[in-house]
Amino acid sequence: MSAPLASLPAADGFRMPGEFARHSGCWMAWPERPDNWREGAGPARRAFAAIAAAIHASDPVTVTVSSAQGRESAQALLPAGIRILDIPSNDCWMRDIGPTFLTGPGGRIRAVDWRFNAWGGEVNGLYAPFDLDDAMAARIAEVEGVERYRAPFVLEGGAIHVDGEGTVFTTAECLLSAGRNPQMTRAEIEQGLKDWLGATTVVWLPRGVHLDETDGHVDNLLHVCAPGTVALTWTEDKGDPQYERSAEALEHLSACRDARGRPLRIVRLPMPGPLHMSAEEAAGIAAGDNGMIRSAGERLAGSYANFYIANTRVVFPLLDERTDAEAAASLAELFPGREIVGVPGREVLLGGGNIHCITQQVPA
């Protein structure tokens, strides 16, 4: 494996493009661990396969597997044409363990390999060990044949959104959490985002979605749909704990300007639920000693903002029959040139995230 570059991406003229820009592919990892995915990960695998198939109709998909049994199940469930590679991981949150791809001079692509510590390390990390996850980005960069940068601080792909024109969106709840980079100030983290993503403006939202175990990843709260346009998780229920979080985000977004000086167009996505884990679902999860706890009745951090923008379609999670159609209509308004495809997302949500969390796009 080649050594990482010693320079800074921004200084080299590289930046992260918006997720709505054209892709050459999408990476996913196969769910296998029984202490996070119920019934030996069987239901999650079927859900991942349906999501992979929906994306593969637009973007070529590669899926990594960690074991012979995982490969066997992936081959049985995934459509023909999806590439399966033996690259081990501790779990399957490809948005967070995979590289962030950048584009630069001459159309070249490079990768940022963030440090990963399972969303908090010894402070509040969700599992250990996580060394295979931390090694995933370098392995993918090698397969893609691109040079990589190794960032000197902890970050997950779900903690950032960009507009491709210099603006980064994140939450203070996440990036300033005690388990990530306690040695860095907010100003130092902001400079790091600029240096490593090629950005000029950082929009700090206060908090993410209520009870999001990633410490409030921004990708569960909002999605950047185009330069100057964001979709925001929203509820009209003032008695719901999410109302205050979404309202403060709306206030902040309404007052800010992006890197080009534009006010933001903010489209509100309905919040599903509230959704909760059933006793049957909780009973199917194996007991573990690594920090993750799943229990009956716990509220799930469900969000329609957790979708994937493919070249010709938007793949979003179906989470609640009462709000699925409204979410689809909002997405159709946001993406008039793309087909809106809903895929059942509850099994992914039970593990702690959704479609955006388990995917990582490669820019064309």
Tokens coding 306: 């957790």
Task: Please give the DSSP secondary-structure letter assigned to residue 257.
Answer: B
| Neighbour-count burial of 95, counting CB atoms closer than 10 A to its CB (0-12 exposed, 13-18 middle, 19+ buried) | buried
Task: Determine whether 26 is an active site residue.
Answer: no
Q: How many CB atoms lie within 10 A of CB 236?
A: 10
Given the residues 26, 174, 225, 357, select the one marked as catalytic: 357
For 35, phi then psi, to 5°, come to -90, 5
Cα separations in angstroms, 132 against 136, 186, 193: 6, 28, 24
Q: How many CB atoms lie within 10 A of CB 129?
A: 10
| Neighbour-count burial of 326, counting CB atoms closer than 10 A to its CB (0-12 exposed, 13-18 middle, 19+ buried) | middle
Distance, in Å, from the CA atom of 157 to the CA atom of 363, rounded to the nearest integer, reads: 15
- Residue numbers annotated as active site: 357
